[in-house]
Chain A
Amino acid sequence: QSVLTQSPSASGTPGQKVTFSCSGGNSNIGNNHVYWYVQIPGTAPKLLIYRNDQRRSGVPDRFSGSKSGTSASLAVSGLRSEDEADYYCAAWDDSLTGWVFGGGTKLTV
Chain B
Amino acid sequence: DVQLVESGGNLIQPGGSLRLSCAASGFTFDIFPMTWVRQAPGKGLEWVSVISISGAAIYYADSIQGRFTVSRDNSKNTMYLQMNRLRVEDTAVYYCAKGGWFGGPGLDPWGQGTLVSVSP
On A, residues with C-beta under 8 Å from B are: 2, 32-33, 35, 37, 39, 43-47, 50-51, 54, 56, 86, 88, 90, 92, 96-104
- Residue from the list A2, A39, A54, A97 in contact with B59, Cβ < 8 A: A97
Give the Cβ gap from A84 to chain B, nearest Cβ, in Å. Answer: 17
Give CA–CA (A32, B107) in the complex, Å: 15
- Residue from the list B37, B44, B61, B105 in contact with A102, Cβ < 8 A: B44
- Residue from the list B62, B106, B109, B113 in contact with A96, Cβ < 8 A: B62
B60 and A98 contacting across the interface, CB-CB below 8 Å: yes
State which residues 76-114 of B face A: CB under 8 Å.
95, 100, 102-113
Q: Is the CB of B45 closer than 8 A to any CB of chain A?
A: yes
Number of A-B contacts (CB under 8 A): 71
Residues from chain A with Cβ under 8 Å of B111 in the complex: 44
Give the Cβ gap from A67 to chain B, nearest Cβ, in Å. Answer: 14
Residues from chain B with Cβ under 8 Å of A39 in the complex: 45
Give CA–CA (A37, B102) in the complex, Å: 16
Give the Cβ gap from B63 to chain A, nearest Cβ, in Å. Answer: 10
B108 and A56 contacting across the interface, CB-CB below 8 Å: yes
- Residue from the list B47, B105, B110 in contact with A99, Cβ < 8 A: B47
Give the Cβ gap from B90 to chain A, nearest Cβ, in Å. Answer: 17
- Residue from the list A32, A46, A50, A100 in contact with B105, Cβ < 8 A: A50
- Residue from the list A47, A100, A103 in contact with B107, Cβ < 8 A: A47
Q: Is the CB of B50 closer than 8 A to any CB of chain A?
A: yes
- Residue from the list B47, B50, B59, B106 in contact with A47, Cβ < 8 A: B106
B106 and A35 contacting across the interface, CB-CB below 8 Å: yes
Question: Given A45-B95, A99-B50 in contact, is the A104-B106 Cβ separation under 8 Å?
Answer: no
A104 and B45 contacting across the interface, CB-CB below 8 Å: yes
- The 10 closest A-B CB pairs, nearest first, are A99-B47, A50-B106, A92-B102, A47-B108, A44-B110, A104-B44, A101-B45, A35-B106, A47-B106, A103-B44
